[in-house]
Amino acid sequence: MSEKRDYYEVLGVARDAAGDDVKKAYRQAALKNHPDRNPGDAAAEARFKEASEAYAVLSDAEKRQAYDRFGHAGVGRGADFSHAGVGDILSQFQDLFSDFFGGGGGFGRQERRGPPRGADVRVEATLSLAEAMEGVKREVTVTGQAPCGECSGSGALSGTKPEPCVQCGGAGQVSSNRGFIMFTTTCPRCRGAGQVIAKPCPKCRGSGAEPRQKAVVVTFPAGIDAGQRLRVSGQGMPAPGAGQPGDLYVDVDVAPHPEFERHGQDLATKAHLTFPDAVLGAEVPIKLPTGKQLVAEIPAGTQPGAVLTLEGEGLPFLDRRGRGSLHVVVDVEVPRKLSKKARKLVQELAEELASREPPARSD
């Protein structure tokens, strides 16, 4: 897998560039490499995706701050546009591209028409820390508006069909002259639809849509984190006729764990030691959220608050091979009550330690 280029290098701006300068640089790169200007040029398309990815991060203050601190790892895999389709990029940032390309998302794209597309749906899913570590397939329930099963989305009574609006002739707009100026407005009879339904479908009351639920199995990759979003193509609501179904977007959350904290792909936990264990050393068993058993080797003389790191025992990285680390924070437990014998032994230890000569200082 090729190394990602620095986002500032991609857009050719300084690291302290203002938002307007970032936007201007992206505008130039997008116009130059847009696929509609470079048909069949895979390299230009790749540069367009790379520039779009860089702009998506650097134009967002929060994402830019995370990128400045941690690089590409700070924004996660959700910022990767390399495998995204151009249409997906344009639709995901429709308001962003409309400013550049006149509202259509691309050169000439507003002129391309086809069957209407089904509605996109967004759902939320909360995973346990173990599921985030190992990955999981989870069934989610998708609810939204789908074409009416009775009228197939036409809104008209079965056996009939919508009729062209006689007022606008099916255009959805009407024009009128006022002096030398012509004004065009939305047709008041069909409300811009270009057609009217004389006999509405009784099931959907002419809307052409009805609420529908369906179950979708979603694959959550190992290492996914809270705040990331998965896109499941074609699993949104169906479209009327031959249109393509919408997409399903799953916003991910990860539930907190009582014994482990997550920091990116790293985990942190506490090892509770007795005073003798800290002095003499010990082997502390640790059970990961996945059930995997580990043993942390505590060296003799370990101090309270010391951190032992077990490499490769954290969560897998989404954008590269390997895993994060497990950090074990040592917590030495001091007994609140002592027996007479224990107190005597501790006193003897204190006297022994006090009688020892301090180590020689080297000047």
pLDDT in tens, the chain (363 residues): 457 889 999 999 999 999 889 988 988 888 888 777 777 788 888 888 888 888 888 988 888 888 888 787 777 655 666 666 665 555 554 445 545 544 444 444 443 445 677 788 899 999 999 999 999 999 999 888 778 888 877 888 888 888 888 888 888 888 776 555 566 788 888 877 788 888 889 888 887 778 888 899 999 999 999 999 999 988 888 877 667 888 999 999 999 999 999 999 999 999 999 888 999 999 999 999 999 999 999 999 999 999 999 999 999 998 889 999 999 999 998 888 888 998 898 888 888 878 876 665 555
Contact 269, 329 (CB under 8 A): yes
Q: What is the DSSP letter of 79?
A: G
3-state secondary structure of 138: strand
- CATH architecture of the domain 117-162+197-255 equals Sandwich (2.60)
Name the CATH code of domain 261-355 (choices 2.60.260.20, 3.10.450.50, 3.40.50.300, 3.40.30.10): 2.60.260.20
* 3-state class percentages of the chain: helix first, strand second, coil last, to nearest 5: 30, 25, 45
- Interatomic CA distance for residues 32 and 13, integer angstroms: 16
- Interatomic CA distance for residues 330 and 272, integer angstroms: 6
How far is CA 62 from its chain centroid?
A: 14
Q: What is the pTM for the complete model shown? A: 0.55
Going from N- to C-terminal start, the domains of the chain cover 1-113, 117-162+197-255, 261-355
Q: Identical fold at 117-162+197-255 and 261-355?
A: yes
Give the helix/strand (H/E) hosting 217.
strand 209-220
Which residues, at least 6 apart from 147, have a Cβ–Cβ distance to it below 8 Å?
Answer: 153, 208, 209, 210, 238, 239, 240
Domain 1-113: top CATH class: mainly alpha
Contact 251, 123 (CB under 8 A): yes
Contact 3, 21 (CB under 8 A): no
